[in-house]
Amino acid sequence: MPEMHFPWLELSILIPLMGSVLVRLPKNREFARKLCVAICVLTLACTIGEFWDFASLDRFEAHDHGGLLSYLFRQGLFVVDELSAPLFPLTALIFLMTFLSTLKTKLDRFSLSGTLVSESILLATFSCRAGWLLVVLLALGTLPPLIELAYRRREGIRVYAIHMGLFVACLIAGWALLPSEAYTMDAATISSKLTFRFLLSGALLTIAGLIRSGVAPLHCWMTDLFERATLGTALLFVVPMPGVYALMRLVLPIAPSWALQSIAILSLITSVYAAAMALVETDARKFFCYLFLSHASLVLVGLELVTAVGLTGALCLWLSVGLSLSGLGLTLRSVEARMGRIDLSRFHGLHEHTPILAGLFLLTGLASIGFPGTIGFIGTELLVEGAVGVYPLIGMAVVVAAALNGIAILRVYFRVFSGTQFSATVSFMAKREERFAVLVLTLLIIGGGLWPQPSVASRYHAAKALIQKRLDQEVSHPPPES
């Protein structure tokens, strides 16, 4: 396997990890936040370096260049491939934007060091392929929100703990039960005596992935988390979609087609259901949660279709949804920082006070539903085409979900930013750093929408390679017969 020219992955994991210790030192919280921003900029630079270096290699996968961690553990601890390569800069960017848009008033509640630890864990997760390390990192990733709920906010943790406990239990049990050679085994090895064990482990891993992704009816932890945790923490825990990543790494290579298609149909149902819930929800946080659930489920639909077009659409959508919904979520967070919790059963009329946030809300919302000219357009088109190609009638549900999401987004835009005259004694205008975040997001969303070919070509290449790997495995190692 080729090696990158610099230990990009290791650095992008270690910088936020060390930064999490560093930001605890200054007593001035605003200075600590600025330090966080600097750390995130460095991390983002490393992830962009990784993306560029990997692209220059023109291979499906590559090892990180040998560094400290590789020396301590073993060569090839961190790997990047075409699936994960763009997820690193995306994740780093989402974290950077979150720190940039954190206002002074929220610094007492938002854990800076905990968030940097989360970033480190998440980046490490995305640099792992199927293995115990991935299982451990996925489990570890559930801890920062738990700590915030239990110790910083003194909130009830039972709903979150029950679901995440089940997730970790299924993950560990599934991985432990899975034959060690499952990802390399041939047909002879998967003998009849292993069939039940194989199926059970696959089912447990699938359940784990579905819980983490919030597929209905296992999604209640997500709405609960959005109600109880800080909005920043909740956003960062779900928007990069590590649950989808887990399913891609752990389940996709070994699951039979019928199982994947079942997951796709479950995701499709979740997508429509969540879109409908977003349309009637009266709490802005829960609205965002359902909107995200609907989009994340659409990504899952595409991934489980296992067709080149559907998979390409899903991979494109993964990036566009990550970018646009993090922008939308951060906009809501900025509005919330000025207003408190947003009640959608009435109008707030904030447009005159925060025109920039209003514009960003609309832009990110439209990008998430795949409006023409935005980054989500081609991904949505590909996904719809892929879904309709596999399920001519059921696939239309993707169109229904997209339509409902579109109606929901404009409804909330109108509720938050119009409908009444609002007067405030303090300025609601966007701060300089918020403006910068808005500018970057807008340029990425519009730029990606007007010039989509490079992104689509790269995602298609990744989709083709993933399907080819799966086909190779099916040819040389057919799945077990029941």
> Please, which of residues 324-383 interact with another protein by CB under 8 A?
338-341, 343-345, 347, 349, 351-352, 355-356, 359, 366, 371-373, 378, 381-382
* Residue 224 binds another protein, judged by CB under 8 A: yes
* Residue 436 binds another protein, judged by CB under 8 A: no
Burial grade of 336 (CB within 10 A; 0-12, 13-18, 19 or more): middle
Closer to another protein by Cβ: residue 25 or 280: 280
Q: Cβ–Cβ contacts within 10 Å for residue 156, how many?
A: 12
CB of 159 to another protein, least distance (A): 5
How many residues bind another protein, per CB under 8 A?
Answer: 77
Q: Which 456-475 positions form the footprint of another protein (CB under 8 A)?
A: 456-457, 460, 464
Helix 29-57, helix 87-100: angle, nearest 10: 160
Among 162, 176, 196, 476, interactor with another protein by CB under 8 A: 162
- Report whether 481 contacts 195 (CB < 8 A): yes
- Report whether 208 contacts 242 (CB < 8 A): no
Q: In sequence order, what are the residues at sequence separation of 6 or more whose Cβ sits closer than 8 angstroms to the Cβ of residue 99?
A: 33, 36, 37, 40, 112, 115
Closer to another protein by Cβ: residue 6 or 414: 414
CA atoms in the 13 A half-sphere facing the CB of 134: 23
* Residue 402 binds another protein, judged by CB under 8 A: yes
Among 22, 34, 41, 385, interactor with another protein by CB under 8 A: 385
* Residue 312 binds another protein, judged by CB under 8 A: yes
CB of 16 to another protein, least distance (A): 28
Closer to another protein by Cβ: residue 3 or 381: 381
Closest by CA to 103, choosing from 435, 434, 441, 438, is: 434
* Residue 155 binds another protein, judged by CB under 8 A: yes
Among 399, 427, 468, 478, interactor with another protein by CB under 8 A: 399
Please compute Rg for the chain using Cα positions: 22
* Residue 228 binds another protein, judged by CB under 8 A: yes
Distance CA 87, CA 67 (A): 21
Q: Which 106-135 positions form the footprint of another protein (CB under 8 A)?
A: none
Closer to another protein by Cβ: residue 21 or 439: 439
Chain mean position to CA 325: 10
CB of 213 to another protein, least distance (A): 17
Please name the helix (run of DSSP H) or strand (run of DSSP E) that holds residue 63, with its range, or none: strand 61-63
Closer to another protein by Cβ: residue 192 or 345: 345
Closer to another protein by Cβ: residue 149 or 244: 149
* Residue 104 binds another protein, judged by CB under 8 A: no
- Coil, helix or strand for 79? strand
Strand segments, DSSP code E, in 142-237 are none
